[in-house]
Amino acid sequence: MTVIKAESASFAYPDGTQALHQISTAIDSGEFAAVIGPNGAGKTTLARLLCGILAPQSGKVWIDGWDTSQFPASRLASKVGYVFADPRLQIFTSSVREETAFGPNNLGFSPSETEAAVSEALQVTGLQDKASAHPYDLSYSERRLLALASVIAMRQQAIVMDEPTAGLDGPARRQLQNALALLRRRGTAAIIISHDMDFVADCCARVLGLKDGRLIADGPCSDVLARAELFGQELPCAARLCRASGLPAAYSAEEFVAALQ
């Protein structure tokens, strides 16, 4: 089932900057799709269009059949969540538990449903022992995980993540993988904006490539990442190792192990 669909969607900022040109794509339930491209390509603008924070100035975006130009972001939040690249733009309460419960409470979850959703989100992000802590007593990596937990707890059909691995330490990256595994089990669609090609290769089956506000690639991960340099990105580490070693092309860590064998 298609969860998010864009049809010839374009967007320009008030200063006249044309950020996106005629974007058409569709994201299905359970699909993990990455969006890559150089700085200024329009990735974050596209992310905000696909979750209804922004509405296209021409063309259409639908979220679960709802035309985003007809509904405020507060209504669309029942269907799709957005994790900002900077957790300071998202976190505003005085405890980890309160932050995680804010979304479910505002979506009308019952007290028992909220408690279950909060417990699950904190467990999967490794923050269960920090529930009473003030968010700004957490490390930067933990604040990023808290921003993710606050969206996971809302149990929407889709989630958009802007640079989810930026600034994460090793333990936090493992918790992020745990959270993504939960989303996969739920059948949640995920749209991931990232410059981290290793992460993209390991977690996304599909990649959308943006350049100068235009969608110029949309296909299987290995097909698009083979042209990563076209989008101002390094090839994933596995691909560079294969190239240097004369091995068949591989992009994810799993593919690289198979190539070695």
* Residue pLDDT, tens place only, 157-187: 999 999 999 999 999 999 999 999 999 999 9
Residues 146 and 213 in one domain: no
Angle formed by the axes of helices 111-124 and 96-106, nearest 10°: 130
- Residue 212, by phi and psi: left (phi above 0), alpha (psi -120 to 50) or beta? left
Report how far Cα 49 is from the mean position of its chain's Cα atoms: 13
226 lies in the same domain as 163: yes
Query: Which element (helix H / strand E) includes 184?
Result: helix 170-186
pLDDT score recorded for residue 102: 97
User: Is 191 found in the same domain as 175?
Assistant: yes
Are 167 and 228 found together in one domain? Answer: yes
Please check whether residues 125 and 12 belong to one and the same domain.
no
Q: For residue 27, what are its two tokens?
A: 């994201």
Q: Same domain for 29 and 67?
A: yes
Candidates 38, 4, 44; CA nearest to 20 is 44
Does some domain include residue 217?
Answer: yes
What is the DSSP pairing of strand 80-83 with strand 2-12?
unpaired
User: Are residues 163 and 223 part of one domain?
Assistant: yes
Q: State the Rg of the chain over Cα.
A: 18
Q: Residue 139: left if φ>0, alpha if ψ -120 to 50, beta else—which one?
A: beta
Residue 232: pLDDT band with limits 50, 70, 90: confident
Judge whether 191 and 49 are in contact, CB under 8 Å: no
Average pLDDT over residues 201-224: 96
Consecutive H or E run containing 34: strand 32-36
Q: Is residue 241 included in any domain, yes or no?
A: no
Residue 128, domain member (yes or no): yes
Is residue 64 domain-shared with residue 165, that is, in the same domain?
yes
Question: CA distances (Å), 181 to each of 2, 174, 178, 187, in order?
Answer: 20, 11, 5, 10
Residues 41 and 20 in one domain: yes
Domain identity same for 14 and 51: yes
Q: Please report, as a single letter, which amino acid is at residue 18.
A: Q
Q: Is 159 helix (H, G, I), strand (E, B) or coil?
A: strand
For the chain, give the mean pLDDT: 95
pLDDT greater than 90 at residue 261: no
pTM: 0.94
* Phi, psi values for residue 41, rounded to 5°: -75, -20
How far does the chain reach from its first CA to its final CA, in angstroms?
37
Q: Report the pLDDT value the prediction gives residue 258, as an integer from 0 to 100.
A: 87
148 shares a domain with 23:
no
CA distances for 227 relative to 94, 195, 216, angstroms: 45, 14, 11
Give the range of the structural domain holding residue 29, as residue numbers without chain letter. 2-79+156-233
